[in-house]
Amino acid sequence: MYEIGHFIDGKRVAGKSGRTADIFNPATGEVQGKVALASTSELDAAVAAAAAAQIGWGATNPQRRARVMMKFGELINRDMDKLAEALSREHGKTIPDAKGDVQRGLEVVEVCMGAPSLLKGEYTDSGGPGIDLYSMRQPLGVVAGITPFNFPAMIPLWKLAPALSAGNAMIMKPSERDPSVPMMIAELLQEAGLPDGVFQVVNGDKEAVDAILDNDAIQAVGFVGSTPIAQYIYSRATANGKRAQCFGGAKNHMIIMPDADMDKAADALVGAGFGAAGERCMAISVAVPVGDKTAEALVERLVPRIEKLKVGPYTAGADIDYGPLVTRAAMERVKGLITSGVEQGAKILADGRNFRLQGYENGYFVGPTFFDHVEPHMDIYKEEIFGPVLSMVRRKSYEDALKLTMDNPYGNGTAIFTADGDTARDFASRVNVGMVGINFPIPVPLSYHTFGGWKKSAFGDLNQYGPDAFRFYTRTKTVTARWFSGIKEGGEFHFKAMD
């Protein structure tokens, strides 16, 4: 049994509120640790310390800040195995998947090693007689990140790397379900040379979240989680005058055209639908074959692939395809949605509700589940399941399939598998979804682009990482300067346009 407090002023500290939450082993259902839940006063004290530390950090040369990121990236690579093991122990995902979680975060850190070029302002020479104009990108001050359980390394790294590189201090409130990796990341930042107090980890629940949203010193909030919570955080943060970028739920569709390579499409659907037990906001949860012949060809290929999936704890070896869900409540919710699918008339071709693993009977496992003949009125279509469940919604034509995707209230990611370039270009141009894959099932952009959904998948006007992150974590100051060559007599009392 281990205990986790907070990371304040460069070191781990115990919680003072007296409140804790259990940290479970998802594979066994056993409590393996406890994490402190911060009070409002603890959060406010961490923010005050961060605000004091930010002054010096914000005044630090951007290139020197980038050197901290360089060392930080080196240390992440050094400790990759330790980070992955801690992540798998608390989240449940396999070791290869955990390393991917860390790696996709590290790639954003690598881009931030070149942050000075992204922080440059603009300059206009002789905008008027002897008048020059220039703009500066300056840090906001103290910012906050509220991050989810499903990517305990990647999402914190997506938030902190650009925020710190831009000269801000950051308060990180990670998920209380798997808090070890964010604490380890904080220690690596410290080892890399980040000054005390610039990055603080405050563990907690809704009390800590509300304290973040109401603290006047915090200038911006970044969040990833469910849509209802994203809406809540965005509304409260902006009402309090803060910038906010809040990313919510998803229902990602993959259209399969009759001319697609069916084997590659089936492989893509299995990996994108069941990887990480479906606990990904970019998971493909809806397959949309065009035409019954396409659907039957897919079913023929999908069922044997799904039946061969290996489910188990991360300790069982590298050939495990996915592990348990993160909590018992998540497992029961997914099983309930599967039952609703059966009751509402979908045809279940693989049923994971009764999956049992010897020695792990109390773990939070759900076997791979596959539905055919799903219709949009069914709960398994309408809700984000966040579990190892793939639904097939058949459509007669490309236009019908496109309409289904566009009518869905979520707009995080989507994909199309086709051999026809015209169809692919039309789909990419017309679909109202933020990230699009063409013969690519999980179109998470590389770290020098930017990540963000549309519709109810995102709230705010700037995306995560890439150039948008530096726009979000800085504000622009514009200076108009004139240097007189001699002494000017008298003053001007009206607003004069530049000649």
Per-residue pLDDT tens, the chain, 499 aa: give them. Answer: 899 999 999 999 999 999 999 999 999 999 999 999 999 999 999 999 999 999 999 999 999 999 999 999 999 999 999 999 999 999 999 999 999 999 999 999 999 999 999 999 899 998 888 899 999 999 999 999 999 999 999 999 999 999 999 999 999 999 999 999 999 999 999 999 999 999 999 999 999 999 999 999 999 999 999 999 999 999 999 999 999 999 999 999 999 999 999 999 999 999 999 999 999 999 999 999 999 999 999 999 999 999 999 999 999 988 999 999 999 999 999 999 999 999 999 999 999 999 999 999 999 999 999 999 999 999 999 999 999 999 999 999 999 999 999 999 999 999 999 999 999 999 999 999 999 999 999 999 999 999 999 999 999 999 999 999 999 999 999 999 998 865 556 666 676 665 5
Residue 179 and residue 273 in one domain: no
Buried b (16+ CB within 10 A) or exposed e, 291-318: beebbebbbebbeebbeebebbbbebee
Residue 228 and residue 287 in one domain: no
Residue 446 lies in a domain: no
Q: How many CA atoms lie within 13 A of 76 on its CB side?
A: 28
Residue 327 and residue 197 in one domain: no
Q: With beta carbons less than 8 A apart as the criterion, state whether 31 and 199 touch.
A: no
Residue 485 lies in a domain: no
Residue 123 and residue 6 in one domain: yes
Catalytic pick among 144, 163, 229, 281: 281
Residue 61 and residue 148 in one domain: yes
112 Cβ neighbours under 8 A, 6+ residues apart: 66, 69, 161, 162, 164, 165
Residue 242 lies in a domain: yes
| CATH code for the domain of 349 | 3.40.309.10
The token pair that represents 340 in the structure block: 């609703």
Residue 172 and residue 153 in one domain: yes
Residue 115 and residue 174 in one domain: yes
Residue 498 lies in a domain: no
Number of separate domains in the chain: 2
The token pair that represents 101 in the structure block: 């979680």
| CATH code for the domain of 204 | 3.40.605.10
pLDDT of residue 484: 81
d(CA 60, CA 79): 27
d(CA 91, CA 325): 8
* 230: phi then psi, degrees, rounded to nearest 5: -60, -45
2 sits in which H/E element:
strand 2-4
Residue 463 and residue 384 in one domain: no
Residue 306 and residue 289 in one domain: yes
Residue 444 lies in a domain: no
pLDDT of residue 126: 86
208 sits in which H/E element:
helix 206-214
Counting runs of H as helices and runs of E as strands, what totals does the chain give?
A: 16, 23
Q: With beta carbons less than 8 A apart as the criterion, state whether 114 and 161 touch.
A: no
pLDDT of residue 483: 86
Residue 246: active-site member: no
Residue 27 lies in a domain: yes
Question: Which range marks the domain in which residue 183 is found?
Answer: 2-248+457-479
Residue 224 and residue 280 in one domain: no
pLDDT of residue 129: 84
DSSP state of 131: E
Residue 167 and residue 285 in one domain: no
Residue 443 lies in a domain: no
